Amino acid sequence: MVDSQDSPNHLSDERAAVFRMLRRRQFIKRAAAGATICALGGYYAIAGHDDRSGQRRPDGRLRLPPHQRVISAIKPMGGEEGDPDPRHFTLKIHGEVDNPMEIDFKTLSEMPATEQTCDVHCVTGWTLFDSVWTGVAISHLAKLAKVRSRAHYLVFEAAQGYTTNVRLADALQPNALIAYKFQHEAIPREHGTPVRGLMPDFYFYKSAKWLTGLYFTARDMPGYWERLGYHNHADPWKEERYA
């Protein structure tokens, strides 16, 4: 299952980015010890001068999570692509549900949609503010599929065996979507067309591209990157990057 994900390019690109991040962190630590960057105020210095960085979210947390820097356009981070044709798309909803379902693209796009502007945060250190996503709330699909009370986790299943796991309570938040549009257009191929998961309040590896299934489960099942050492929960404000 993991093998097809293990192509040298995919792993080396992602790992290279992680190493760059770690080197940057080391540099900042050293610089801070030398009191050069200190004066500029902690991570604001690396965040650049985006005015939104210091804003507060409705929940009181700073808009820019610690040690993230703002970029101006989403970056393709790789992965093994799935079939981009919406006519071939089905979303399988299974596991701890009383009403298992297979939903095609047309059905999904006719469901009540959420359009939201939100921020996304990559574990390698970039944050994109104010990206616009359209999709169906996972909570809506969970209701349709009659998720059982014993389900406590959700595994997003994607092309070529990619998986990522989240707590059900996190997946039922109103901003957790099954998304089919990015910036008002079909999601670009490298960003997961036709459909991807979107968990905006968690590092972006929780947002599975080229989505194929939602698997509800009583027991947690660490996903692809989680098994390779990325943090199981991935809260950017707690800097849950690596386990």
Q: Which residues bind ligand MTE (CB under 6 A)?
A: 14, 74-77, 79, 122, 158-159, 162, 191, 204-205, 207-210, 225
The SS3 of residue 179 is strand
The residue whose two tokens read 């999904």 is 108
Nearest distance from C-beta of residue 157 to ligand MTE, angstroms: 9
Residue-by-residue DSSP string for 19-49: HHHHHHHHHHHHHHHTTSSGGGTTTHHHHTT
Peptide bond into 194 cis (omega under 30): yes
Residues numbered 196-225 forming contacts with Mo ion, rule: CB under 5 A: 205
Using CB positions, name the residue nearest to ligand MTE.
79
Residue-by-residue DSSP string for 62-119: BSS-TT-EEESS------------GGG-EEEEEESBSS-EEEEHHHHHHSPPEEEEEE
The residue whose two tokens read 């998986």 is 163
| Residue 17 contacts which entry, ligand MTE, Mo ion, none (Cβ below 5-8 A, type-dependent) | none
Q: What mask of x and - would describe binding to Mo ion in positions 67 to 106, judged by CB under 5 A?
A: ----------x-----------------------------
Nearest distance from C-beta of residue 139 to ligand MTE, angstroms: 21
Nearest distance from C-beta of residue 204 to Mo ion, angstroms: 6
d(CA 205, CA 105): 23
| Residue 226 contacts which entry, ligand MTE, Mo ion, none (Cβ below 5-8 A, type-dependent) | none
Q: Which is nearer to Mo ion, 194 or 223 (CB)?
A: 223
| Residue 207 contacts which entry, Mo ion, ligand MTE, none (Cβ below 5-8 A, type-dependent) | ligand MTE
d(CA 52, CA 64): 8
Nearest distance from C-beta of residue 128 to ligand MTE, angstroms: 8
